[in-house]
Structure 1
C-alpha cells in the first residue's frame, strides 16, 4: 500500500428521490466500510460520511457537497482521493479496482 487513501461518501438522511429502494447513505457507509475492511484487511482506508445538506466547513468538501445537490447527482456519491468512483448504487468491483491502483492488496475470500 502506497498510502492510506480517503474515501468520502456524500449523502443525506433522506434517500435520493431517484434512488428509491436503494440503501440509505448511512447504510452504504457502513456496508462499504465492512466490505473494504474484509477485502483489504490491515490496510486502513479513511472513510468519511458527509451530509450534503450540512457539510463540514472544509472548503473542498463543502464545495463538492454543493455540487452533488446542484447537479442532482444520485447519492450517495462516493469519492476516492477526490475522484468519483460510485454514484447511487456503488459497485464494489469498481471501488476495489480503484483501491488497488493505490497499492492496496486484495485478500481473496473462499
Structure 2
C-alpha cells in the first residue's frame, strides 16, 4: 500500500484557552507531539505544522478551520489529520498514533 505523507495540523494560540489553564501551551504541545511522533515513526515521512488560529497562513482550508476553532469555542490546541479532529485541548498521543496507522504508518 503506497502511503502519502500525512500532514498533522496543530491549531492553537499564544494565549492558553480558559478551560486549559493547567495544560501546556499550544506551542509546547506541538513541540512535544512532533518529538513523540518522530520517536514513534522513525524514518517515516510526515509533516507537522503549527497554525495560529488568530493569524492563520494564507491557505483557505486552514483559515476556515481556524475560524471554526474560534467560533465553536473548541479547546485548543486542536489536532487535525486530513481534516478530521483527532485531539482537542489535551491531545492523546495514542489516539493520534492510531489515526496515523490508518494512513499506513508503522510504529516502533
Correspondence for 2:43: 42
**Secondary structure of residue in 2 paired with 1:99:** helix
1:84 matched to 2:85: yes
Correspondence for 2:4: 3
Q: Structure 1 residue 9: deviation in Å? A: 0.3
Q: Structure 1 residue 45: deviation in Å? A: 1.4
Q: Provide structure 2 residue ranges, at least 5 long, that are not aligned to the other structure.
A: none
Contact 1:37–1:44 (Cα < 8 Å) also in 2: no
CA RMSD of aligned residues (A): 0.8
Q: Structure 1 residue 70: deviation in Å? A: 0.6
**Secondary structure of residue in 1 paired with 2:34:** helix
Correspondence for 1:59: 60
- TM-score by length of structure 2 reads 0.97
- TM-score by length of structure 1 reads 0.95
CA distance in 2, matches of 1:17, 1:93: 25
Contact 1:77–1:87 (Cα < 8 Å) also in 2: yes
Q: List, as ranges, runs of 4+ consecutive aligned residues in structure 1 with deviation greater than 3 Å.
A: none
**Secondary structure of residue in 1 paired with 2:48:** strand
